[in-house]
């Protein structure tokens, strides 16, 4: 494979000049044309490893999520990647499966890659221990931040979104409302907080359960809950994965919404409006989350010393049949 020296020889110039052509440095048009012709003739491809080593910038960002198969992360990833490539950056994607060991391992990998920055959806254990200073690159957290995080972040207004769902259920006449939340992420905790507050303000109890963030765990929990005598009239479910589990549970128990139990949740996944009269959900602005995270990372790189910033985005309540009046 041709290298810069070969191109230089073929074009009758120095390697420096070829490099300048590559980087849009000052080169006369005549020479630039000759060099470009030589590159084309030799089918030259600059070696990015060499370039990164010498120039000390990798133009690469890390994107660390729990599981790309979660449609929320799929959508966010896609938005991040588009925005990254648009800015001439590469993305390294990592799945942690909510496993703090994997998180640590991938953060280490990011250091070895000398990434320019990282966009990270951390588990609850990890949130507080992320220190961009020690890591050596800026971090933008998404989806699961707490107030004590030391980085920029893009989050949904989880409390408010949960409260909105509760408010909607109250307005529809429901009083016995249960909440199901993921136990590994801060997001679950915040949604739980919003859920509790809203119900307490209404003077109602706020029975909540916490499960591992998997379809199966949610399905089992819901099955069990609905089999109990004190079954809630309505169920609020904290994210799309758990919501799928809840739907499966209702289906296998032969229960229907909203007659047997009303169901509301988070994440406007493609199937939520196909089921019966549709599921009422809070839709997250997934594209905006991804785009914003990438934009914040770029801004931070531009201006490393600016103060920490947290962008809070609002969800959109999408009312469908699963939460109608009894």
Of 219, 227, 177, 224, which Cα lies nearest the Cα of 198? 177
Closest to a second copy by CB, 83 or 190: 83
Handedness of CA 200, 202, 205, 207 (dihedral sign): negative
Query: Which tokens hold the place of 87?
Result: 């800015």
φ and ψ of 155, to 5 deg: -140, 160
Per-residue b/e over 219-256, b at no fewer than 16 CB within 10 Å? bbbbbebbeeeeebbbbbbbbbbbbbbbbbbbeeeebe
Alpha helices in 23-99, H assignment, sequence order: 29-42, 48-55, 71-86
| Closest approach of a second copy to the CB of residue 171, in Å | 27
Binding interface with a second copy (CB under 8 A) = 1, 45-50, 52-53, 58, 67-69, 71, 74-75, 77-78, 81-82, 90-95, 108-109, 111-114, 136, 215, 244, 247-248, 251, 270-271, 274-275
Picking from 158, 218, 211, 221, the residue whose alpha carbon sits closest to that of residue 183 is: 211
Minimal distance in Å, beta carbon 197 to a second copy?
32
Smallest distance from DNA to CB 304, Å:
18
Question: Does the protein bind DNA through residue 27 (CB under 7 A)?
Answer: yes
Residue 228 interacts, among a second copy, DNA, none and using kind-specific CB cut-offs from 5 to 8 Å, with none
Q: Let me know if 59 is exposed, middle or buried by CB neighbors in 10 A (0-12, 13-18, 19+).
A: middle
Does residue 13 bind DNA (CB under 7 A)? yes
Candidate ranges 12-20, 95-103, 161-169, 279-287; the one touching DNA (CB under 7 A): 12-20
> Residues in the chain, how many?
326
Counting contacts by CB under 7 A, is residue 40 touching DNA? no
| Residue nearer to DNA on the CB measure, 49 or 147 | 49
User: Looking at 37, 40, 46, 82, which residue binds DNA (CB under 7 A)?
Assistant: 46
Nearer to a second copy among residue 46 and residue 167 (C-beta)? 46
Choose among a second copy, DNA, none what residue 69 binds, the Cβ cut-off being 5 to 8 Å by kind: a second copy
Out of 37, 40, 41, 47, the only residue in the binding site for DNA (CB under 7 A) is: 47
Other beta carbons less than 10 A from residue 56's beta carbon: 8
17 binds DNA (CB under 7 A): yes
Q: Are residues 185 and 144 in contact, defined by beta-carbon separation less than 8 angstroms? A: yes
- Given the rule CB under 7 A, which residues bind DNA? 1, 3-5, 12-20, 22-23, 25-28, 30-32, 44-47, 50-51, 53-56
């Amino acid at each position: 494979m041709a290298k810069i020296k070969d191109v230089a020889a073929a074009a009758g110039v120095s390697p420096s000049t070829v490099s300048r052509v590559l980087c849009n440095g000052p080169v006369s048009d005549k020479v630039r044309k000759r060099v470009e012709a030589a590159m084309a003739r030799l089918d030259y491809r600059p070696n990015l490893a060499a370039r990164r080593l010498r120039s000390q910038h990798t133009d690469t960002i890390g994107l660390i999520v729990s599981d790309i198969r979660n449609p929320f992360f799929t959508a966010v990833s896609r938005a991040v990647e588009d925005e990254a490539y648009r800015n001439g950056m590469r993305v390294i994607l990592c799945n942690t499966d909510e496993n703090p060991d994997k998180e640590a391992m991938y953060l280490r990998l990011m250091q070895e890659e000398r990434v320019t920055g990282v966009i990270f959806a951390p588990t609850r254990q990890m949130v507080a221990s992320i220190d961009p200073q020690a890591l050596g690159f800026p971090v933008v957290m998404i989806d699961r931040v707490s107030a004590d995080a030391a980085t920029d972040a893009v989050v949904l207004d989880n409390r408010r979104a949960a409260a909105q769902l509760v408010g909607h259920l109250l307005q529809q006449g429901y009083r016995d409302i249960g909440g199901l939340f993921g136990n590994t992420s801060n997001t679950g905790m915040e949604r739980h907080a919003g859920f509790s507050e809203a119900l307490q303000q209404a003077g109602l109890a706020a029975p909540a359960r916490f499960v591992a963030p998997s379809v199966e765990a949610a399905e089992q929990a819901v099955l069990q809950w609905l089999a109990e005598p004190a079954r809630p009239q309505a169920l609020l479910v904290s994210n799309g994965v758990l919501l799928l589990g809840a739907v499966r549970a209702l289906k296998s128990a032969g229960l229907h919404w909203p007659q047997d139990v009303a169901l509301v949740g988070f994440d406007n996944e493609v199937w939520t409006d196909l089921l019966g009269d549709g599921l009422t959900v809070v839709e997250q602005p997934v594209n905006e989350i991804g785009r914003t995270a990438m934009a914040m990372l770029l801004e931070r790189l531009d201006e490393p010393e600016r103060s920490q910033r947290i962008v809070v985005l609002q969800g959109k309540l999408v009312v469908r049949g699963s939460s109608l009046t009894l």
